[in-house]
């Protein structure tokens, strides 16, 4: 397992430097900005094919314009695999659509829910019939007012840490236990599939400060890593501008999440939530893991 883990970390580091370098080249260093990195793992390391911007059934993107930096994650619903549908393709294409819209400045930085809606609309209009479901979380840093604008649908999400405390976070959206809100394009005849509108996403606005740490992640992180452990790890990079150190932090979170997800004796956040719903559970929840980590430089 260690060789596969090392390989995926190397790929994550490589693709992150590509994204980060592209961001740095597109705007002067005097701009207020996110300094961002990515890490993560697919649940099944040996069986997953590597694609940039994809971690198993998860997907992510980092993009920027002159006025905004944008981070996004999505988590494909794995249940579609039993129907012969690749759950990760829906999430990946959704994120690629959003990334393209950002790069061509075809979005409003203060309305990230519209970005999700436009990306989903392009999925619906795609010549290739792309089926499946996905959660989605978008965080936009608007340079004009030094605030972030967010849209989250489902159980991916974000937290912002300042001075060792969470000062802002997303709200998880669930229909019922382990059944998150999701965007869906089901096959013909599947009328009983959960399908939420992009406009049902929870949206927030929050002014950020120099040095704030922002974690955007899929549920593979939040279901397995206790929130206190996340905060303790994130506070170590408050105000950090060195991408190597940020990458080490992101890798550390991804490795923690993966290790705990396969620990059958660990009382994970997922197991605790299950018990609150009268389900006797113990251990982590094996899942794809995506970590997008950023600090704010004003």
Q: What is the pLDDT confidence band of residue 104, given thresholds at 50, 70 and 90?
A: very high
Q: 31 pLDDT exceeds 60?
A: yes
Name the strand (E) or helix (H) holding 140.
Answer: strand 132-142
Here the CATH number for the domain that contains residue 107 is: 3.60.40.10
Both tokens assigned to 13: 């580091």
pLDDT at 50 over 80: yes
Mean pLDDT value of segment 71-92: 95
The answer to whether residue 260 is domain-embedded is no
Average pLDDT, the chain: 92
Number of domains in the chain: 1
pLDDT bucket at 16, cuts 50 / 70 / 90: low
Helix (H, G, I), strand (E, B) or coil at 21: helix
pLDDT reported for residue 24? 47
CA nearest to 287, candidates 198, 222, 194? 222
- For the segment 65-85, the average pLDDT, to the nearest whole number, is 95
Q: Give the span between the Cα atoms of 168 and 225, in whole angstroms.
A: 18
- The 10s digit of each residue's pLDDT in 285-295 is 999 999 999 99
Q: What is the pLDDT of residues 178-212, one digit of tens each?
A: 999 999 999 988 888 999 999 999 999 999 999 99
Residue 45 and residue 4 in contact, taking contact as beta carbons nearer than 8 Å: yes
pTM of the model: 0.93
Q: Which pLDDT belongs to residue 7? A: 61
Does the residue 55 lie in any domain?
A: yes
Residue 80 lies in a domain: yes
23: pLDDT strictly greater than 60 = no
**Which two structure tokens, joined as six digits, stand for 229?**
């452990």
CA–CA dist 165, 132 (Å, integer): 37
Interval 232-250 mean pLDDT: 98
pLDDT on residue 10: 64
Mean pLDDT of all residues in 225-248? 98
Tell me, yes or no, whether 187 lies in a domain: yes
pLDDT tens sequence across 148-157: 999 999 999 9
Structural domain span for residue 97 = 34-212+233-249+287-295
| Structure token pair of residue 4 | 């596969």
Asked if 19 and 25 count as a contact pair (C-beta separation under 8 A), the reply is no
pLDDT (tens digit, 9 = 90+) per residue, 261-271?
999 999 999 99
Confidence (pLDDT) at 28 = 46
Which has the higher per-residue pLDDT, 65 or 13? 65
Judge whether 3 lies within some domain.
no
Is 267 within a domain?
Answer: no
- Look at residue 224 and tell me if it is in a domain: no
Of residues 272 and 126, more confidently modeled: 272
C-alpha 137/C-alpha 91 separation (Å) is 11
Whether residue 69 lies inside any domain: the answer is yes
Per-residue model confidence (pLDDT) at position 49: 82
Task: Compare 49 and 9 and report the one with higher pLDDT.
Answer: 49
């Amino acid at each position: 397992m260690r060789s596969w883990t090392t390989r995926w970390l190397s790929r994550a580091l490589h693709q992150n430097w590509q994204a980060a370098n592209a961001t740095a080249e597109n705007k002067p260093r005097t701009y207020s900005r996110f300094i961002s990195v990515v890490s993560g793992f697919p649940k099944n390391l040996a069986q997953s094919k590597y694609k940039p911007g994809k971690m198993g059934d998860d997907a992510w993107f980092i993009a920027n314009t002159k006025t905004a930096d944008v981070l996004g994650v999505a988590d494909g619903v794995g249940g579609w695999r039993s129907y012969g549908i690749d759950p990760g393709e829906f999430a990946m294409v959704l994120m690629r659509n959003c990334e393209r819209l950002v790069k061509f400045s075809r979005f409003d930085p203060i309305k990230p829910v519209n970005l999700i809606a436009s990306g989903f609309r392009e999925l619906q209009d795609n010549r290739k019939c792309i089926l499946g479901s996905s959660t989605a979380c978008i965080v936009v840093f608007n340079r004009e007012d030094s605030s972030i604008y967010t849209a989250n649908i489902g159980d991916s999400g974000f937290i912002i840490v300042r001075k060792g405390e969470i000062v802002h976070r997303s709200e998880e959206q669930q229909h019922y236990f382990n059944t998150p809100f999701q965007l869906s394009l089901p096959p013909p005849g599947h009328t009983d599939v959960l399908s939420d509108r992009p406009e049902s996403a929870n949206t927030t606005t929050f002014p950020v400060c120099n040095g704030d740490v922002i974690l955007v992640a899929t549920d593979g992180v939040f279901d397995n890593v206790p929130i206190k452990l996340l905060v303790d790890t994130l506070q170590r990079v408050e105000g950090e501008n060195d991408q190597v150190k940020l990458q080490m932090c992101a890798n550390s979170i991804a490795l923690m999440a993966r290790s705990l997800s396969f620990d059958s004796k660990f009382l994970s956040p997922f197991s605790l939530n299950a018990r609150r719903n009268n389900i006797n559970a113990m251990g982590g929840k094996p899942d794809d893991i995506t970590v997008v980590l950023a600090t704010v430089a004003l």
